[in-house]
Structure 1
Amino acid sequence: MLHWSINAAIIRPPRCKTARVPKRVGEVSVDQLESGVRLALQSARRLALAAAAAEDAHTAAVLLYQSAEEVGKAKLLHDQFVAGKPLSGARLRDHVEKFRVAVDVIPPDCLELWGPAFDPAVFQADAFQTEPIRVDWERRQASLYANWDEDRKVWSEPATPDARVVRTSAARLVDFIDHAIGNGLR
């Protein structure tokens, strides 16, 4: 039979003598912001490299979208660092917000794949994959996105990624991210 005090020590860690100072809600240190920017850019670079190496154009295009989102997240963190203002965690979780920021930061030739028809505000990949939009299953799986037009209550024609454009965009995005890692985001 185990002694109760041994069990209590296992269940509950010993108390420390120094009082823990709680952080204020929303307070983020400079080091955390700098490392957040660096980690987001490194993640974006890995995703862009994976997109360049992907054999399937659809997978590569989705990886490019995620890479652009990470660049948007890095830009939001960078702006917070420069302005010294708190950043809402909701903005970091909002896909549309991150992609909009990324579109403003990333050169257009890196995002050639998306084209002028792509609207991140109405992009609904999940709904596109589940809603009946009268497109055969194989084509839906190969398509990158379809935008929902709320006024007309119809889906746009699905956009199928071109493998050459995906690879070119991915290579350009990797170059841009390498430049941003070395010189910072502006």
Structure 2
Amino acid sequence: MKVLKEFTIPFVGLKIGKHLFEYKVERAFFEYFEYEDFNDVSLDVSVVLEKKTTLLELHFKISGWVNVYCDLTNEPYNQTIENEFDLVVKFGEEYNDEYDDILIVPHGTYEINIQQYIYELSILAVPAKRVHPGVEDGTLDSEILKKLEELSPKVEENKNKEEDTDPRWDTLKKLLTDK
């Protein structure tokens, strides 16, 4: 996969201390990854890189919204998302990314690309079950909701609970109350 240059941070020329990098992520970013679940995207990404003498610490913070389809009604809506992640970049003999929050890069490395981390944080911030806010508060008027209501099983009220029980169990119920 080709590297997007705007998400590459050259850290070699930076002074020791904290440095802020801000990005605006839109739908084209996810099209690059061939991810098509989002109709529209508006995310603000801030990355605080703290350069230390032997390692780098990156703190990612993502906030904004993604336009997705509701799992119940298939109506599009804007889902707000927020996510944070800390990454430690250490220097070693060879590249190693088998740990979730530690990245080991070779000693001669002078830049780091963070596009994959932004992509994964954005995807993981979206809830597994996407429900339109209008479904939850009852304000969404949809044909699918009407059909679901029509086809849902009706709850019958138990008019006489005593009549619904099997008389053979009544004797056993007396044992519970005869203490």
The normalised TM-score by structure 2 is 0.24
Higher relative contact order (CA 8 A, sep 6+): 1
The normalised TM-score by structure 1 is 0.23
Q: Which has the higher helix share?
A: 1
